[in-house]
Chains A and B, each alone.
Chain A
Amino acid sequence: MSVGHGTKPTTHARELGFLRKYIFSTDHKIIGIQFIFSALIFLVIGGLLALAVRLQLGWPAGDIPLIGRWFPESWGGRMSPEFYNMLFSTHATIMIFLVIIPMLAGGFGNFLIPLMVGAPDMAFPRLNMLSYWFMWPAFVSILSSFFVEGGAAGVGWTSYPTIASAMLPEGTASPATPNAGMGQTLWLVGLICVGISSMLGSINYITTIVNMRAPGMTLYRMPLTVWALFVTAILQAMALPVLTVALLLQLLDKTVGTTYFLPPAGLTFGNWQTAAGGGQPLLWQHLFWFYSHPAVYIMILPAMGMVSDILATNARKPLFGYRPMVYALAAIAGLGFIVWGHHMFQSGMDPRLGTGFMIATMLIAMPSAVKVFNWLATCWQANMNLTAAMLNALAFVSMFVIGGLSGIFMAATPVDIQIHDTYFIVAHIHYVLFMSSLFGIFAGLYFWYPKMFGRMMSEFWGKVHFALTFVLANAVFFPMHIIGIQGHPRRYYDPTLYETWAPLQPMNEFMSVAAMLLGAAQIIFVLNFLGSLFLGKRAPINPWNSNTLEWTVPSPPPHGNFETTPVVYRGPYEYAVPGEPLDHVPQTEPAK
């Protein structure tokens, strides 16, 4: 069954022109690199937005040096609350939908899946190209929304109705304008395009993994990266249609005047009145979180898979508990579909429903614990090579522990009453998405860069970048737990208005200074990444002495990947095998 149409050798004789080869390419590797480059560019944009948020929180409504004159004059060169709302909303939207998901699923998924399963390309190369180009309407509409009347969407990345969807008889603008006017419509259009892109990608990944594995590559010989991307693709294919439909419904509410999220009595904004409705604002939250909770796993599972491979390779030791790791991935994905209500404990949903969602949510911590202990056991009695990739992977493990453990607080419904919508949540999501997913992405980039571009990144500067990022990111995000325990609400323009939270200002200032330094430290990474494209050492075929199939082909691999279809004889983690002459036994090494 694993003998798909990948058996025929595919080396292309025809040279493609620059445009077909690098821009409108159907080669999975080029498409993967396109995803990675655009995600990195948006990582910079999203990061700068985050720094602007920190600027406001560190020095609320302070005079802003240099860029102050960009802000509306009515606020005297200071940031207005509406603009602040746009900043954090767009920051989150960009980081989630234009950076982490496209980077992991689009970038690494595209580049690695065919190489790791021994296929010449994806099952549907043109669909694959389409999935990348569907990102562009999203890039354009989200960035351009800052320049339309009323500015960008400023109602949070969750876009809860009725603030996001309400519409007055006069036009599309909600009374909450400038935060939910034309910018919100563009936000919806952009995200629908992202949704279509991801759905096209996930169908491709599932088909490729099921049908195009090389001979001998049984399911339980697949590297965990492929397993994780497989599970992620299934999650995406099943959950994304729900979000895409919800986005369409809100778009209809906003443009043609349907009332899916408008309550029967309509809404009153001062002396303004909307039309009567017939819908339910809470419906959006159910539809939104039915996708967006699985989305949290879409944003972490691929990183977990990559980290598993990077840990085993650099620890020079077989991955501890391969099958439990696979089962844990599947369990996280399966349970991920029945926990969405834990975002809604305080939403006005029946509290008895909250009890059920709490039980499911607590259970999901079990497979997460299994993964952490297996990673630790992989490092135990190992022979660890602490490369830049390995250090980032190790950081992924310890930071995921913090992000996972803090999740238990909010899964506990009574405790969640106090910490819901506070900085505790902000700390938690950043420990999962920044400290875990992004460290996983850094690890993956350091590890597979040689295969992508044929050159090595600087190990020294990689380690400097890692040390600074590790220390500073903790300085930025860990204190958020503390101010969250004190109840500091998220999405607040100026918390110093409150006697309860004004004393926290020194901590806010500390986090802001650390965030600026953290941002500056990323310049090292950018220079290392771009500089190594031209100045890096030429990469050998297998610089890390790894076992998986992508390390049997030249760096970078040619179009069609494999000269002849590889045959797989063993699992991916045969390191330190007693009696073998080498420390590693590649998957293609025939059994004796």
Chain B
Amino acid sequence: MTTTIQFMLNDSPVEVEVEPRTLLVDVLRDGLGLTGTHVGCAYGVCGACTIIVDGLPARACLMLAAQAEAKTVVTVEGLAPPGEMTALQTAFHEEHGLQCGFCTPGLLCSLAALQQGDPAVSREDVDDAISGHLCRCTGYVGIRRAAHRALGVGPGTGDAS
């Protein structure tokens, strides 16, 4: 049994046929071809599939596609116009905020949601948001430096303080 769902995806309305058990992350990747959202653990721990749903970060592997009905979804592809980068993405590029890149789309979505939701964000808020993502390459030093710089919290030294 399938149903038709409609939601806003990166500023465009989309309509897809889904089974009840279809995960949102699979609709994004396999149904709509937006493979920027990565699947790591598929049970909510690693953060690679994090997207923005109604302005808040969410694990796309822990949402049924049916739960996206009438919602506004943003993936890494929707953060900046094609060929351009946001200041956050530029900071990741310049501060060595990624290595293999697998965790990057999720981190960018969490931090973009944090930035848009709270203009007076603190360094602790930024680190708390980063803690919801596993990175096995960087040791988080470059990620924190990039995020602190882009969100304007502290000197962005990437130290452990």
**Is A bound to B?**
no
Spell out B's residues near A (CB within 8 Å).
Answer: none
Spell out A's residues near B (CB within 8 Å).
Answer: none
